[in-house]
Amino acid sequence: NAGVTQTPKFQVLKTGQSMTLQCAQDMNHNSMYWYRQDPGMGLRLIYYSASEGTTDKGEVPNGYNVSRLNKREFSLRLESAAPSQTSVYFCASRDLSSYNEQFFGPGTRLTVL
Amino acid sequence: KQEVTQIPAALSVPEGENLVLNCSFTDSAIYNLQWFRQDPGKGLTSLLLIQSSQREQTSGRLNASLDKSSGRSTLYIAASQPGDSATYLCAVNGGGFKTIFGAGTRLFVKA
């Protein structure tokens, strides 16, 4: 039982490049989330997926797109990376049957030059 | 709009000391509150989850309390150890799919 996994762990991009961050969970959770974490700030929600086939914007969705590929996988895409997107990105899933407890992946550290 | 505040931002204590970390929130209509630990360069590890109907939860040397009426939660760590050094985050869920996080308290336990 790996929990929530993310790839890659580190990535450096040049401004304007695109990339996709991958996330998978093996806990059979319906809802999945993408957050970004910046120094001195709490985690901010980018997008979430309440269930397979649905996605919704969070607090800071601009510049990002997501795909809920199936129940296990939820990807985050940066179409044209900007230096303001330099951050640590966390994927999470939620167990609605266990009082909404949330579980996190190890994170992807992204630098945009 | 829910806001979550954690004070202090950083705390340094000698090993063996009992300590309290604070979390306050502005909207008392919460579903649950979750405390996380984050080690440098790592993800978040869930420590304790308190449902809105509960007053406290305990796990080992950790005890989390919840007072919805005053908009406060505390995380009590007994007999602190250097291995407890980390950032501690509280997160408030209002019952939907969104969770609001505090900025965290960075704890350093000196040997």
> Following DSSP, what letter does each residue of B6-51 receive, concatenated?
EE-SEEEEETT--EEEEEEES----SEEEEEEE-TTS-EEEEEEEE
Taking the C-alpha atoms of residue A42 and residue B6, their distance in angstroms, rounded to an integer, is: 10
Q: Summarize the confidence of residues A82-107 as an average pLDDT.
A: 91
Mean pLDDT of chain A: 93
β-strands A56-57, A43-49 pairing: antiparallel
Beta-strand ranges (E) seen in A1-113 are: 4-7, 10-13, 19-25, 31-37, 43-49, 56-57, 64-68, 74-78, 87-95, 101-104, 108-112
Tell if the CB–CB gap between B93 and A100 is shorter than 8 Å: yes
pLDDT band at residue A38 under the 50/70/90 scheme: very high
First-to-final CA distance of chain B: 41
Q: Hey, are the CB atoms on B99 and A45 less than 8 Å from each other?
A: yes
Tell me the pLDDT band of A95, cut-offs 50, 70 and 90. Answer: confident
- Element containing residue A61 per DSSP (H, E): none
pLDDT tier at A39, thresholds 50, 70, 90: confident
Please tell me the predicted confidence (pLDDT) of residue B32: 93
Go through chain B and tell me how many residues it has: 111
Selected residue of B34, B99, B100 to mutate for chain A interface (largest A Cβ count, 10 A): B99
- What stretches in chain B show pLDDT beneath 70? none
Residue A55 or A1, more confident: A55
Contact, B88 vs B36, CB < 8 A?
Answer: yes
A-chain CB neighbours of B89 within 8 Å are 42-43
Residue A81 in this model has a pLDDT that exceeds 80: yes
Q: B63-86: per-residue pLDDT in tens?
A: 999 999 999 999 999 999 999 999
Yes or no, beta carbons of B101 and A31 under 8 Å apart: no
Q: What pLDDT was estimated at residue B58?
A: 96
Q: What is the pLDDT of residues A46-80, one digit of tens each?
A: 999 999 999 999 999 999 999 998 999 999 999 99
pLDDT at A41: 75
